[in-house]
A and B are shown apart, each in its own frame.
Chain A
């Protein structure tokens, strides 16, 4: 039985959409995973010596212990936001002759092996090795490590019991904020208290069995809960959200592109994948704050160009790079509807231009860091409207990958191909390089003006450029229809 399940898992993994992705994306994902593993392992090995150096009078293990309450609470919050019990794919198993108990055990066991549980072990295990090497009691350290392992697993199961309840979430937040405040105002030394507790386990490793009891209790609770809910109308049901219609009649002012713009706005609000792009706007807008206050970067004259292009073009880049793949799931319908392709592309252009203008206005407070910065941002805005919108629309004709709007966005590379990487070149590097060059050879003012003029030239040739781009889209129509039908 277990073998069957494992086989299914194996196939699911290797046949999943993520695995069939292009080699570039695979490498990138592997790189991310490796990065995290190395980070944690690095902290695990180096952490001991780092703490020793920073606080020579204190015991590093005790320091780690005293922060564990926060670490665990933070872990729970992270899980609360990110982790879901993997129940949806057991639906086909329910009617087969498999005992429900086995299915439930399987789901729970599978969750125990999740990424969230393994990640922190990359810290704890090397850390324990170092402890033993540095002369701590082997038994004590192993007992402590065992307890950590149990606590991670307990957190895993506790998270599913909490099951997205807002009350539990506020409790977690209260613990972390309250704990910090109590510590900060010296009301009560939580660090000391918690640290002593874990140290006690180190000194008496047999007490780590307490963790086993906790884990078993949580597991049983989970088991009972899940077993009673393993029905299509409960745990396995896909949640249906009520539609919220907001009044978008103001878009009518934009003329014949209004229906498409209305759609695009709804597309962004109502789909998981696109919602994150909205957060990216805030990120892009605040991007400058990473650089401008830092005197190290203020010497680099091309920095404002990067920030300017990125902060005014955050939406342009995020949204634009997947035109027309956003509409891939109903591309057939669009192609049999009564409108000119030009109008469709014009709507995309309009929405991107509005976003650039809006983001520039929102970014005006950057003037605090000097008028030069605002001037460059202004030039970058014009460049974005005049050049980058056209470049990205042209790049769209190379999009051949369907996007499934319902899937989550984090680490989702669906729809990403070589185009997305290549397009970044003219989009970001070219204006930066050009600016840096002219700035070096001539002057800052001329460099800024050049950027603006390039943008103005783009705007002047807008009609011509759009006509060329439209032709290219029409030429690629059948290929795109075919490609967007494929599930990748």
Chain B
């Protein structure tokens, strides 16, 4: 369970995020949508304790993220390319993340091998550094790295952007399987309304830092979101 209370982030006088209360129960697949500048990435950065909240707090499985670092044990995330180490090959990068999450090389290799279809033969064994991969392939590597080490919470910022259609479909499948057992809490943000409605059981719309909609996904959700955004 991730509890957000009275959370706000201000830069000078401008408030970029203001969430009074938001609870994400364990095992939920949670989608965050909103136009540019709505505060999606800010919220994720606050969840990961990469920026300091102006007020309020985030509690991730009973751990307040800016008080203790214990949440890092069970939280996997991929925000953007700055999460990748450019001079490593994808294999080395997975191994590094695995090391930090207490998995040995063999475990990591067999875990990553499960995603061979998702990688489409473009990641493993290519003898390329991450910095030399295309944006889409970098993203694939980053997403899978976030899943290494049995995380209880997975945070992905715009996972569908830059991916080709086939990979988008495969990613949706992976994310759905991930939350099947209601063990893993998944948080994704996206600009693609149809993807996010397909993957997530709950969708929150942010606008200028405020929660303006909190919807349990149903057949009508996509319609509702489209009409909301086509102002």
Q: Closest B residue to A340 by CB, please name it.
A: B69
CB distance from B227 to the nearest CB of A (A): 36
Inter-subunit contact B127/A243 (CB<8 Å):
yes
Is the interface on chain B under 10, 10 to 19, 20 to 34, or 35 or more residues?
A: 20 to 34
Collect the chain B residues with CB atoms within 8 Å of residue A262's CB. 92, 96
Query: How far is A480 from B92 in the complex, measured between Cα atoms in Å?
Result: 26
Query: How far is A406 from B85 in the complex, measured between Cα atoms in Å?
Result: 12
Inter-subunit contact B129/A337 (CB<8 Å):
no
The interface-forming segment of A266-274, A385-393, A407-415, A431-439 is A266-274
Inter-subunit contact B50/A335 (CB<8 Å):
yes
CB distance from B67 to the nearest CB of A (A): 12
CB of A336 closer than 8 Å to a CB of B: yes
Q: Closest B residue to A332 by CB, please name it.
A: B82
CB < 8 Å: which of B49, B92, B131 contacts A245?
B92
CB of B188 closer than 8 Å to a CB of A: no
Collect the chain A residues with CB atoms within 8 Å of residue B195's CB. none
Collect the chain A residues with CB atoms within 8 Å of residue B73's CB. 338
Inter-subunit contact B49/A336 (CB<8 Å):
yes
Inter-subunit contact A405/B86 (CB<8 Å):
yes
Collect the chain A residues with CB atoms within 8 Å of residue B50's CB. 332, 335-336, 478, 481
CB of B72 closer than 8 Å to a CB of A: yes
Inter-subunit contact B89/A245 (CB<8 Å):
yes
- Which parts of A55-110 form the interface with B (CB within 8 Å)? none
Collect the chain A residues with CB atoms within 8 Å of residue B100's CB. 259, 337-339
CB distance from B34 to the nearest CB of A (A): 21
Inter-subunit contact B51/A263 (CB<8 Å):
no
Collect the chain B residues with CB atoms within 8 Å of residue A267's CB. 87
Collect the chain A residues with CB atoms within 8 Å of residue B97's CB. 337
Inter-subunit contact B48/A336 (CB<8 Å):
yes
Collect the chain B residues with CB atoms within 8 Å of residue A406's CB. 86, 131
Collect the chain A residues with CB atoms within 8 Å of residue B95's CB. 259
Inter-subunit contact B82/A336 (CB<8 Å):
no
Collect the chain A residues with CB atoms within 8 Å of residue B89's CB. 243, 245
Inter-subunit contact B83/A330 (CB<8 Å):
yes
Q: Closest B residue to A238 by CB, please name it.
A: B132
CB of B8 closer than 8 Å to a CB of A: no
Collect the chain A residues with CB atoms within 8 Å of residue B75's CB. 336
CB of B203 closer than 8 Å to a CB of A: no
Collect the chain A residues with CB atoms within 8 Å of residue B132's CB. 240-241
CB distance from B40 to the nearest CB of A (A): 16
CB < 8 Å: which of B85, B99, B101, B129 contacts A333?
B85
CB of A420 closer than 8 Å to a CB of B: no
CB of B77 closer than 8 Å to a CB of A: yes
Collect the chain A residues with CB atoms within 8 Å of residue B131's CB. 406
Inter-subunit contact B86/A329 (CB<8 Å):
yes
CB of A134 closer than 8 Å to a CB of B: no
B118-129: CB near A (< 8 Å → 1, else 0) gives 000000000111
Collect the chain B residues with CB atoms within 8 Å of residue A333's CB. 82-85
CB distance from A141 to the nearest CB of B (A): 53
CB of B79 closer than 8 Å to a CB of A: yes
- Which parts of A116-143 form the interface with B (CB within 8 Å)? none
Collect the chain B residues with CB atoms within 8 Å of residue A339's CB. 72, 100
CB of A151 closer than 8 Å to a CB of B: no
Query: How far is A445 from B84 in the complex, measured between Cα atoms in Å?
Result: 51
B30-57: CB near A (< 8 Å → 1, else 0) gives 0000000000000000001111100000
- Which parts of A232-268 form the interface with B (CB within 8 Å)? 240-245, 258-259, 262-263, 266-267
CB of B7 closer than 8 Å to a CB of A: no
CB distance from B133 to the nearest CB of A (A): 10
CB of B175 closer than 8 Å to a CB of A: no
Collect the chain A residues with CB atoms within 8 Å of residue B92's CB. 245, 262, 266
Inter-subunit contact B128/A243 (CB<8 Å):
yes
Q: Given A332-B83, A405-B87 in contact, is the A259-B96 Cβ separation under 8 Å?
A: yes
Collect the chain A residues with CB atoms within 8 Å of residue B128's CB. 240, 242-243
Collect the chain A residues with CB atoms within 8 Å of residue B101's CB. 337-338
Collect the chain B residues with CB atoms within 8 Å of residue A336's CB. 48-50, 72, 75, 77, 83
Collect the chain B residues with CB atoms within 8 Å of residue A244's CB. 127
Q: Closest A residue to B47 by CB, please name it.
A: A336
Query: How far is A271 from B132 in the complex, measured between Cα atoms in Å?
Result: 13
CB < 8 Å: which of A242, A271, A331, A337 contacts B72?
A337
- Which parts of A260-307 form the interface with B (CB within 8 Å)? 262-263, 266-267, 270-271
Collect the chain A residues with CB atoms within 8 Å of residue B49's CB. 335-336
CB distance from A33 to the nearest CB of B (A): 32
CB of B22 closer than 8 Å to a CB of A: no
- Which parts of B82-116 form the interface with A (CB within 8 Å)? 82-89, 91-92, 95-97, 99-101
Inter-subunit contact A478/B88 (CB<8 Å):
no
CB distance from B6 to the nearest CB of A (A): 19
Q: Given A266-B88, A336-B75, A405-B87 in contact, is the A329-B96 Cβ separation under 8 Å?
A: no
Query: How far is A332 from B85 in the complex, measured between Cα atoms in Å?
Result: 11
Q: Given A258-B99, A270-B129 in contact, is the A263-B85 Cβ separation under 8 Å?
A: yes
Query: How far is A337 from B127 in the complex, measured between Cα atoms in Å?
Result: 25
> Beyond the given A263-B85, A336-B83, could you list 12 further A-B residue pairs with CB under 8 A, ordered by the A residue number?
A243-B129, A244-B127, A259-B99, A263-B88, A263-B96, A266-B87, A266-B92, A267-B87, A270-B129, A336-B77, A337-B100, A481-B51
Could you give 16 example pairs across A and B, Cβ below 8 Å?
A: A245-B89, A259-B96, A259-B99, A259-B100, A262-B92, A270-B87, A270-B129, A333-B82, A333-B85, A335-B49, A336-B72, A337-B97, A337-B100, A340-B69, A405-B87, A406-B86
Chain B residues with CB under 8 Å of chain A are: 48-52, 69, 72-73, 75, 77, 79, 82-89, 91-92, 95-97, 99-101, 127-129, 131-132, 149
